[in-house]
Structure 1
Amino acid sequence: MNDIAKQQDTRDVSTSQEQKQKRALLPPVDIFEEDEALHVIADMPGVTRETLHIEVDQNVLSIEGDIQLAMPEGISASYAEIQGDRFARRFTLSQEIDTDAIRAQLTDGVLTLTLPKRETHRRRRIEVKAA
């Protein structure tokens, strides 16, 4: 991962079974870069807009939420691997990112964040003029 966004791993290094289950609850994240922006895409099944909290504080992007997977009424699980719980992901952003212009969209359990680069950090073509 480049210097524009560095992940801060919030997981405990403990190897207990409970910690292994907590680790599995972290939504997987992909980060893509283009000249104008970074794009963060996170798979978040069971997360709703109401249970999702995203903020930037001192160039740290925090994504927190609750995975809420409801069991149908009157049914009990014989076996369940999918569990609801709270999660948090944090990324340190470089000064290249315009934190005031970050946009977020949650569609069908997929969170897409667009982190525009500041104009001064974007690649631009220099026009050559004839003398």
Structure 2
Amino acid sequence: MADDSGVSKPVVEEASAEQTRAAACYRPHVDILETADELVVLADVPGAAADSIDVDFEQGRLTVHARVPARQKEGTEFWLQEYGVADFHRSLQIGEAIDAAGIRAEYADGVLAVHLPKAPSAKPRKIAVRAG
């Protein structure tokens, strides 16, 4: 991704692929925040339960998949249905060196937060300059 200044961002979205799933699937909106120690990916996945969310990190690619159950009960029929319900799927290529063993995720109020700690080699550090 590039912003208006032409500077390359460290996170790249996956290339769009042909839809091969039979069921509908939403692409959740995300925010990606950076601190000196980590990247934090915030993804909107309303209607999911924490135990129905899969988060994977492999070869620098973060993948989130959340299963959301249908709201229609057996024997009921919608008169009007404006709110869509489907699974969520998003995959992002992360450009920073990440400490995969330290990745953690938490889910509250429909928002998934994935904390991706930077590997020591990716953290900024101050270099001391010694005289002669």
TM-score in same-fold range (> 0.5): yes
TM-score range, shorter chain: 0.7 to 0.9
1:6 pairs with one of 5, 9, 12? 12
Structure 1, residues 3-28: CA drift from partner, whole Å, max 9, x if none? 2x222154648xxxxxxxx57x2211
Bigger mean CA deviation after superposition, 60-69 or 38-47: 60-69
Query: Cα distance 1:110–1:9, how it changes in 2: closer, same or farther (>3 A)?
Result: farther
Number of residue pairs the alignment of both structures matches: 121
Structure 1 residue runs of 5 or longer lacking an equivalent are 14-21
Tell me the TM-score normalized by structure 1.
0.75
**Cα shift at 1:93:** 2.1
Contact 2:53 2:67 in 1 (8 A): yes
- Any conservation in 1 of the 2:45–2:66 contact (CA below 8 Å)? no
Tell me, yes or no, if the aligned pair for 2:45 and 2:88 is still in contact at 8 Å. no
User: Aligned pair 1:80/2:75, yes or no?
Assistant: no
Residues 42 and 36 of structure 1: is their aligned pair in 2 closer, same or farther, counting only changes over 3 Å?
same
Residue 93 of structure 2: aligned partner: 92
Moved more, 97-106 or 119-128: 119-128
Q: Aligned partner of 1:77: which letter?
A: F
Q: CA RMSD in A?
A: 2.7
User: What are the residue-to-residue correspondences of 1:27-46 with 2, within 5 Å?
Assistant: 27-46=28-47
Give the alignment's TM-score, normalised by structure 2: 0.75
